[in-house]
């Protein structure tokens, strides 16, 4: 499903779960930390794909900017080639390379963006682990571990499994306990679980029992980005707002 649907379903699931089991989401007003964590958790599993909402945050340079830099380099190549190799076979080869570069510019920019995103993603993960031990804030290593696992996960593989759900719940518990915060592990767990549940309503399904390759989905499923998902998003948004006003 699309990110906005996951976000709406995640917040609704967290609010509903809190209402049923009696979690305190607010003190005189809605606790926005809980809502923020619900949104983050509901989108977290899709960080295994480059186009996901959270994944794009690691793209320190946008694809459009990379394409502009690429055109500048092609322009420099054209000027240098004209001044140095005019009326030679080499210049003809340079022209061919420039034309090919222009045609492939968008594909090159996308690949460059993905490469930089993966590098940044991995560096942040390693820095979290190194920083956790250097500054003796050991639970932060869990954040680095989760980031690195997401980097190597195939789409709807490990990140969409019960194993990953348990890991995220445990990591959240460890972090909140270490810093003596409120225990948000149930909130984060409900957010991630909502993502797995909603993706089971799509044709591709999810690998709940990863590393087993079997995919699980509901007998009736909807098309990602289709009319039924758009209708579902509207319904979830309305229900979430109504439930939030009741708290």
User: What pLDDT, on a 0 to 100 scale, did the predictor assign at position 98?
Assistant: 83
Q: What is the pLDDT of residues 69-114, one digit of tens each?
A: 878 888 888 888 878 887 787 888 888 888 888 888 888 777 777 7
pLDDT of 196-238, one tens digit each?
988 888 888 888 888 888 888 888 888 877 888 888 888 888 8
Distance of CA 40 to the CA centre of its chain: 9
Mean pLDDT, all residues of the chain: 81
Query: How far is it, in rounded angstroms, from Cα 61 to Cα 115?
Result: 11
**Which of 1-5, 11-15, 29-33, 213-217 comes out lowest in average pLDDT?**
29-33
- Find the mean pLDDT for residues 177-201: 86
Among 246, 177, 198, smallest CA distance to 19 is for: 246
Tokens of 56: 């794009």
User: What predicted TM-score, i.e. pTM, was given to this entire model?
Assistant: 0.77
**pLDDT value for 27:** 46
Closest by CA position to 152, among listed 168, 164, 134: 164
Cα four-point dihedral sign 73, 78, 82, 84: positive
């Amino acid at each position: 499903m699309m990110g906005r649907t996951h976000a709406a379903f995640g917040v609704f699931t967290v609010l509903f779960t809190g209402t049923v089991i009696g979690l305190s989401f607010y003190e005189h007003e809605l606790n926005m930390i809980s809502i923020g964590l619900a949104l983050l958790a509901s989108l977290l599993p899709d960080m295994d794909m480059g186009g996901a909402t959270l994944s794009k945050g690691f793209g320190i340079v946008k694809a459009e900017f990379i394409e502009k830099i690429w055109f500048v380099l092609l322009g420099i190549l054209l000027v240098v080639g004209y001044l140095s190799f005019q009326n030679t076979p080499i210049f003809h080869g340079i022209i061919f390379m420039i034309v090919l570069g222009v045609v492939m510019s968008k594909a090159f920019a996308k690949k460059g963006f993905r490469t930089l995103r993966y590098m940044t993603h991995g560096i942040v993960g390693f820095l979290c682990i190194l920083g956790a031990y250097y500054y003796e804030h050991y639970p932060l290593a869990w954040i680095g571990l989760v980031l690195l696992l997401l980097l190597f996960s195939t789409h709807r593989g490990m990140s969409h499994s019960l194993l990953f759900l348990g890991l995220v719940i445990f990591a959240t518990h460890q972090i909140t306990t270490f810093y003596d915060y409120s225990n948000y592990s149930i909130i984060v767990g409900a957010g991630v679980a909502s993502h797995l549940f909603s993706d089971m309503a799509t044709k591709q399904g999810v690998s709940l029992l990863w590393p087993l390759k079997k995919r699980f989905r509901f007998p009736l499923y909807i098309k990602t980005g289709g009319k039924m998902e758009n209708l579902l998003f509207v319904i979830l948004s309305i229900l979430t707002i109504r439930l939030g006003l009741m708290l």
